[in-house]
């Protein structure tokens, strides 16, 4: 949606009002629509913050995962699992990061079928700079205070657990 003047009403509340005339599940529809809209807003803000670093949030997450690894390298399959993305997506992310000089891909020395991604010095530098920018911008969530941030995390944990994200 183009950034313009705010609507004179909450479109999600209006959708809920209309929904209630036809179907059940108003609280669920209202909650999921709110979640999806906030996701759009936050991803757009994160990508705007990361654009000067030639990163998207997905690529940033991959760099952070490599940064956190003991050796600065992980097999692509393990990265896909930890980032909870499809193998095709992790391959695409790695290609873009390699083209930017932030990672180097090479065959796994012990598993001929696997590929290792290594964080380069340039990748370490960009993850540090990008993280500073994200922290300064409160990861796009400056409208929430610390107790609200904790409440959001706690509120969404059962949904993630039920989906099988963790035990």
Which H helix or E strand runs over 37? Answer: helix 26-50
Q: Is 11 within the bounds of a domain?
A: no
Domain of residue 98, CATH code: 1.10.10.10
Q: Is 65 within the bounds of a domain?
A: yes
Q: Is 131 within the bounds of a domain?
A: yes
Q: Which pTM does this prediction carry?
A: 0.89
Report residue 70's pLDDT band, with 50, 70 and 90 as the boundaries: very high
- pLDDT, tens only, 104-163: 999 988 887 889 999 999 999 999 999 999 999 999 999 999 999 999 999 999 999 999
Higher pLDDT, 89 or 3: 89
Strand boundaries in the chain, DSSP class E: 73-75, 103-107, 115-119
Q: Is 141 within the bounds of a domain?
A: yes
Q: Which domain holds residue 144?
A: 54-157
Q: Is 67 within the bounds of a domain?
A: yes
Q: How many domains does the chain have?
A: 1
User: Which CA distances in Å does 9 have to 12, 13, 16, 37?
Assistant: 9, 8, 12, 15
């Amino acid at each position: 949606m183009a950034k313009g003047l705010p609507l004179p009403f909450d479109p999600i509340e209006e959708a809920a009002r209309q929904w209630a005339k036809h179907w059940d599940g108003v609280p669920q529809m209202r909650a999921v629509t709110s979640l999806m809209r906030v996701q759009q807003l936050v991803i757009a803000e994160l990508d705007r913050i990361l654009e000067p670093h030639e990163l998207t949030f997905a690529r940033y997450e991959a760099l952070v995962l490599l940064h956190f690894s003991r050796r600065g390298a992980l097999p692509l399959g393990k990265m896909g699992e930890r980032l909870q993305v499809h193998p095709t997506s992790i391959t695409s992310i790695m290609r873009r990061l390699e083209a930017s000089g932030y990672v180097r891909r090479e065959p796994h020395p012990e598993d001929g079928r696997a590929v290792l991604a290594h964080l380069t010095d340039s990748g370490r530098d960009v993850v540090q700079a990008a993280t500073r920018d994200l922290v300064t911008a409160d990861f796009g969530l400056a409208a929430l205070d610390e107790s609200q941030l904790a409440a959001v995390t706690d509120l969404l944990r059962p949904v993630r657990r039920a989906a099988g994200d963790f035990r």
